[in-house]
Amino acid sequence: MKREVKIKDQINKIDKGVAYWNIKIEKMQKRVQAEIQKLEDEKTTLEMKLSTLKKARSKRCKHNGKIIKRYNARSDASFEYFLICAKCDQWIGSQRFDGSVKCLVSLTEKQLE
């Protein structure tokens, strides 16, 4: 009889321990899911930045020169880059700090001359 009570107490302790660790595991899974979501969001923003840079690269002038960026601080505490041809100093567009392209112009031969 005493032994049965002792065994039941041990089983209860084990059940409490299992429940405790199950709760810990659930909390850890939630943290991991939040981190995964954060990284996926960061991935999408980086993909958007890459696509805007590819668009800007495709809008090069007749020199097909390298696009350089010139930093421009703005009055609203943000900043942007002017996308400029390194050879002819032709303005191609502006890129805001968040990666969105503000304005891209398609340049023709007549506009450059």
For residue 105, what is the enclosing H or E element? none
Residues of the chain with pLDDT under 70: 54-113
* Per-residue pLDDT, 2: 79
pLDDT digits (tens, 9 = 90+) for 77-105: 555 666 666 666 666 666 665 545 444 44
The reported pTM is 0.43
Residues 6+ apart with CB under 8 A from 111: 105
Find the domain containing 55 and state its range. 2-112
Fill in the amino acid letter for 8. K
Per-residue model confidence (pLDDT) at position 32: 95
Tokens of 89: 């100093």
Listed residue (51, 109, 56) closest to 82, CA to CA: 56
Q: How far is CA 93 from CA 36, 38, 66, 75, 102, in A?
A: 34, 30, 14, 19, 7
Count: domains in the chain? 1
Q: Residue 29's pLDDT is what?
A: 96
